[in-house]
């Protein structure tokens, strides 16, 4: 049998779940449920799948597509072939090419050309992709993500030159694994000969399993699922074993145990060019079984509890067409991904809310212009406390921002400064305010914010506002 042949023998029987209802369990279901079961509930039970797409999720998707596009065969004249599997005078497969031969026939001729091409593709993406509106966490995210993609694709090209190309037909390949009678559809990111599963991503390994409170490569249930699928397929279907380059002895050893430590799982952090590896033994199956059992039990009992630790990166923490956050359970104060139009300063307004005694809210909002539905972008809550002698006022504050990158923090602080001076003048009292910088503004353009705070007269993040009439008396 030729190594070019991607075996599908008996696959219809093994993957009969493809013909079943939409209640198919996938690795992404378990991954999402592990992070936040309420997010899983929104996807699988509320059908919220056509929501705006976050820029981070789109970046990961483009990287997946780019890896696959790189493996298209190119003639020496630059023409791409979509069906040919062999190249050159010796009719080699891509996997048989030497590193110095590969650039002649891969879809891109060098790491740099690959990175630049994907960067160019990314930068022409506008407000929507595949019919879905794109939401961003901050104004500069699009350009920063483009540079990150460029670097990641360049590093990935070098990775395949050093470690070889993945087997054809096994890039982001959907397959199924049986876990105690439960079939779960998983995805092989890449497979290489030598019993190697490779998982190239832009960032560090991220498959947090909240149920077991682990997120490391060596403990991930996702990794266990994929290695188990490899063991089952290689030991059950000879066609897969041949394509994956396994000897009869390898297959015999795999058939003796449910999961083999000889199967290597490697994760490649493409943005930093870091490669880590791990393996699994039969002792890891107990954790996998417990996770799957808990997943099935929670679905049966309809237990879907929000995990607020995951809100920041959740795909449901986005603004819908009505200006509301899609997920009603998002923790208050967590930054929200918003469409590009929300970063236009001309649409922003500032209001004050004094409905609660001894509390003032400075509210930054956007809407009612350019057909944008009103939505709050940030709140600065000021708790006003008078001293027992009633001769001074102390203010505690807390800031909650929903987007970054359009200077709303600076706008809010300037309004706060004007408000405190007016409050001091109207009450003829000194006002002391201390900013909790680490809690409210760290990582949110902190350099420019600190410069503004110092310019407004804060000393070590504290300022005393004095009534102007008192200043005039002191001068006289």
Which residues lie closer than 8 Å to 192 by C-beta, 6 or more apart? Answer: 163, 164, 165, 166, 167, 198
Measured distance CA(268)–CA(249) in Å, rounded: 29
Measured distance CA(208)–CA(220) in Å, rounded: 7
DSSP-assigned beta bridge partners for residue 319: 325
Q: Quickly list H helices, 17-107.
A: 27-35, 37-44, 55-70, 102-105
3-state percent helix, strand, coil for the chain, nearest multiple of 5: 40, 20, 40
* Residue range 45-86, pLDDT digits in tens: 887 777 888 999 999 999 999 999 999 887 665 555 556 677
Domain spans of the chain, in order of start = 11-71+107-301, 344-475
Could you tell me what percent of the chain has a pLDDT over 90?
48
Does residue 74 come out as left (phi exceeding 0), alpha (psi in the -120 to 50 range) or beta?
beta
Which residues lie closer than 8 Å to 375 by C-beta, 6 or more apart? Answer: 319, 323, 324, 338, 342, 365, 366, 367, 402
Write down the mean pLDDT value for the chain: 83
- State the average pLDDT over residues 276-281: 96
What is the DSSP secondary structure assignment for residue 374, as one 8-state letter? P
Measured distance CA(454)–CA(108) in Å, rounded: 51
pLDDT category at 130 given cuts 50, 70, 90 is: confident
pLDDT category at 342 given cuts 50, 70, 90 is: confident
Which residues lie closer than 8 Å to 332 by C-beta, 6 or more apart? Answer: 400
* Of 369 and 376, the one with more pLDDT: 376
How far out from the chain centre does Cα 387 lie?
47
pLDDT category at 23 given cuts 50, 70, 90 is: low
Helix 111-123 to helix 55-70 angle, to the nearest 10 degrees? Answer: 140
* Burial of 20: CB neighbours in 10 Å, binned 0-12, 13-18, 19+: exposed
Give the domain 11-71+107-301 fold. Lambda Exonuclease; Chain A (3.90.320)
Measured distance CA(299)–CA(291) in Å, rounded: 12
Strands (E), 307-374: 338-339, 348-353, 359-366
Is the per-residue pLDDT at 6 higher than 70?
no
Give the domain 344-475 fold. Aminopeptidase (3.40.630)
Alpha carbons within 13 A on the beta-carbon side of 186? 24
* Residue range 148-196, pLDDT digits in tens: 999 999 999 999 999 999 998 899 999 988 888 889 999 999 999 999 9
> Measured between alpha carbons, how far is residue 66 from residues 93, 121, 171, 200, 338 in Å?
20, 10, 11, 12, 26
Scanning the structure block, which residue is given the tokens 């808990």? Answer: 294
Query: Quick check: helix, strand or coil at residue 64?
Result: helix
Q: Tell me what pLDDT residue 346 has.
A: 61
Two domains, one topology: 11-71+107-301 and 344-475? no
pLDDT category at 299 given cuts 50, 70, 90 is: very high
Q: How many CB atoms sit inside 10 A of residue 237's CB?
A: 18
Alpha carbons within 13 A on the beta-carbon side of 251? 16
- State the average pLDDT over residues 371-377: 62
Q: Tell me what pLDDT residue 228 has.
A: 95
Structure tokens of 340?
């590009």
């Amino acid at each position: 049998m030729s190594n070019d042949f991607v075996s599908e023998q008996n696959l219809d029987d093994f993957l009969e779940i493809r013909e079943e209802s939409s209640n198919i369990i996938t690795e992404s279901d378990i991954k999402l449920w592990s992070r936040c079961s309420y997010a899983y509930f929104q996807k699988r039970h509320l059908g919220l799948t056509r929501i705006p797409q976050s820029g981070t999720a789109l970046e990961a998707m483009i990287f997946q597509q780019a890896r696959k596009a790189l493996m298209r065969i190119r003639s020496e004249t630059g023409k791409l072939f979509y069906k040919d599997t062999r190249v050159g005078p010796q009719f080699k497969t891509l996997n048989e090419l030497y590193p110095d031969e590969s650039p002649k026939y891969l879809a891109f001729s060098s790491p740099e050309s690959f990175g630049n091409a994907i960067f160019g593709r990314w930068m022409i993406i506008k407000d929507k992709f595949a019919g879905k509106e794109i939401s961003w966490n901050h104004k500069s995210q699009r350009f920063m993500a483009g540079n990150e993609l460029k670097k990641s694709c360049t590093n990935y090209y070098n990775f395949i030159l050093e470690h070889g190309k993945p087997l054809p037909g096994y890039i982001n390949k959907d397959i199924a694994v049986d876990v105690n009678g439960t079939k779960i559809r998983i995805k092989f990111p890449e497979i290489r000969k030598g019993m190697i599963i490779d998982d190239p991503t832009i960032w560090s390994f991220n498959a947090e399993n909240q149920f077991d409170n682990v997120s490391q490569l060596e403990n991930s249930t996702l990794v266990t699922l994929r290695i188990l699928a490899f063991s089952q397929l290689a030991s059950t279907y000879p066609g897969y074993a041949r394509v994956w380059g396994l000897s009869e002895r390898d297959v015999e050893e795999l058939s003796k145990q449910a999961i083999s430590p000889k199967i290597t799982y490697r994760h490649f952090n493409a943005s930093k060019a870091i490669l880590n590896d791990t393996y699994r033994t039969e002792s890891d199956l107990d954790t996998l079984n417990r996770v799957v059992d808990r997943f099935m039990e929670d679905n049966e009992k309809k237990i879907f509890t929000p995990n607020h630790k995951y809100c920041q990166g959740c795909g449901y923490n986005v603004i819908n067409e009505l200006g509301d956050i899609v997920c009603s359970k998002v923790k208050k104060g967590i930054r929200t991904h918003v469409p590009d139009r929300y970063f236009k300063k001309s649409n922003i307004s500032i209001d004050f809310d004094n409905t609660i005694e001894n509390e003032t809210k400075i509210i930054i909002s956007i809407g009612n212009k350019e057909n944008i539905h009103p939505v709050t972008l940030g709140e600065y809550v000021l708790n006003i406390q008078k001293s027992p002698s009633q001769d001074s006022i102390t203010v505690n504050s807390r800031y909650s921002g929903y987007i970054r990158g359009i200077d709303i923090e600076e706008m809010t602080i300037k309004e706060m400064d004007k408000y405190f001076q007016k409050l001091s003048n109207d009450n003829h009292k000194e006002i002391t305010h201390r900013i909790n910088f680490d809690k409210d503004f760290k990582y949110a353009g902190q350099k420019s914010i600190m410069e503004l705070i110092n310019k407004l007269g804060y000393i070590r993040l504290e300022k005393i506002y004095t009534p102007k009439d008192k200043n005039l008396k002191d001068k006289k």
